[in-house]
Amino acid sequence: MNGEKFDLARFVNSRIYRLVGSQPGQLSPTGRALLAQLRQAANAEPGTVPAVWTITTEGLPDYLGEVLYRRTETAVHVALTQFALHQQSRRSVMHSTRQRFGTAVRRLANKQAGHDQDPHETPVYRRFSAMLNSTTLPALLAHSRGIIPQLRDEEIPFDYGAYAQDIFWFLTPGRATEVRRRWGRDFHRNTADTADTEISTHDAEGAIQ
């Protein structure tokens, strides 16, 4: 195997910057068109929509080998198509390295709960719980696609680079439980409606070899 390492989170982060730049309220014609094409490709099999290859597939290294390449391609496709859904009609960037997916869901649950309800009794928590119980990628995506529009409505961003890594490890045999545990811990660790602590877009296994 090639000794190089591929940084999946950095790849996704760079693609998002290419799509929206620093001013998503002033998208370039190319960025606007690519976001629309990514939204249309959200339910498609990764790698089967030529219109989005320049943003999802171009630049992925061949040295990964077929299995890792396919897994990486899927993770990138999921992250970028869901980001495009999240970013729709928003003037601020819905990608932030300041909080992971589980943290963002907790912020949304806190908003839905208000002062009188437990966050664990909210609609988004029920959807999140079903997502964590998913054993296949189609099942997981069916639930995540129900969460993304709710996050968009409240303009709550999350780290799509880390999310792509999570999808990669969910698809890796024997590693899905770790992803579920991380999402659950992030949800329960962040009990206040805040995202003041910056986190890295990489974890100890963020690079793919």
**Fold exhibited by the domain 6-195:** Peroxidase; domain 1 (1.10.520)
* CA atoms of 207 and 189, how far apart (whole Å): 25
Per-residue confidence (pLDDT) for residue 2, from 0 to 100: 53
Nearest to 200 by CA among 105, 99, 107, 102: 99
Per-residue confidence (pLDDT) for residue 190, from 0 to 100: 55
Q: Are 23 and 87 in contact (CB under 8 A)?
A: no
Per-residue confidence (pLDDT) for residue 189, from 0 to 100: 86
* CA atoms of 145 and 143, how far apart (whole Å): 5
With b for 16 or more beta-carbon neighbours within 10 A and e for fewer, the 193-202 pattern comes to eebeeebebb
* CA atoms of 189 and 134, how far apart (whole Å): 22
Per-residue confidence (pLDDT) for residue 194, from 0 to 100: 46
Backbone angles phi, psi at 207, to 5 degrees: -95, 140
Digitized pLDDT (tens) for each residue of the chain, 209 residues in all: 455 689 999 999 999 999 998 777 888 899 999 999 999 999 999 999 999 999 999 999 989 999 999 999 999 999 999 999 999 999 999 999 999 999 999 999 999 998 889 999 999 999 999 999 999 999 999 999 999 999 999 999 999 999 999 999 999 999 999 999 999 999 998 555 444 433 333 443 455 54
Reported pTM: 0.90
Query: 3-state DSSP call for residue 178?
Result: helix
Helix (H) or strand (E) holding 70: helix 65-87
* CA angle, 39 then 125 then 149, to 5°: 20
Q: Are 8 and 170 in contact (CB under 8 A)?
A: no
What is the dihedral angle through the alpha carbons of 180, 183, 186, 188, rounded to the nearest 10 degrees? -70
Nearest to 158 by CA among 201, 97, 81: 97
A 10 A CB-CB count for 82 gives 24
Cα–Cα separations (whole angstroms), residue 151 to 51, 95, 145: 26, 11, 10
Q: Give, as one character, the DSSP assignment of residue 179.
A: H
In the chain, where the domains are located: 6-195
